[in-house]
């Protein structure tokens, strides 16, 4: 249930920012049927976020629960990483997708 609470809170915050006129991209949650641009945006987010996590060494778990840094990947239809090795795998996959869709 922890992810559901995070997702609802984040979605509400993003909707408020959109109402203020900010250009906030909606997460691509379903890869099947997504447009090429949506897949590119998803890959771009995953690559950028994984780079940030690896550079800053953001914690991925706290008391056995995923942190917001890890749950952001799940919002964009990726796994919720538990280790930095999994984050590197996401980054590699995103890099290949950027080349394919870009």
Average pLDDT over residues 28-36: 90
Average pLDDT over residues 2-18: 92
Q: What pLDDT is stored for residue 102 in this prediction?
A: 85
Q: Is residue 81 part of a domain?
A: yes
C-alpha closest to that of 54 among 90, 95, 7, 6: 90
What totals of helices (H) and strands (E) does the chain contain, helices first? Answer: 4, 2
Q: Residue 1: which pLDDT band, with cuts at 50, 70 and 90?
A: low
Q: Is residue 31 part of a domain?
A: no
Question: How many domains in the chain?
Answer: 1
Q: Is residue 72 part of a domain?
A: yes
Query: Each residue of 44-81: pLDDT tens digit?
Result: 999 999 999 999 999 999 999 999 999 999 999 999 99
Q: Is residue 82 part of a domain?
A: yes
Q: Domain range holding 69?
A: 36-102
Q: Is residue 22 part of a domain?
A: no
Spatial separation of the C-alpha atoms in residues 35 and 5, rounded to whole Å: 28
Q: Is residue 20 part of a domain?
A: no
């Amino acid at each position: 249930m922890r992810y559901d609470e995070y997702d609802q809170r984040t979605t509400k915050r993003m909707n408020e920012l959109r109402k203020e006129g900010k250009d906030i991209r909606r997460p691509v949650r379903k890869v099947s049927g997504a447009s090429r641009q949506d897949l590119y945006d998803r890959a771009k987010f995953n690559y950028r976020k994984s780079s940030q996590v690896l550079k800053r060494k953001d914690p991925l778990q706290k008391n056995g629960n995923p942190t917001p840094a890890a749950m952001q990947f799940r919002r964009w239809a990726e796994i919720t990483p538990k280790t930095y090795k999994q984050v590197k795998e996401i980054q590699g996959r995103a890099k290949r997708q950027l080349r394919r869709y870009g």
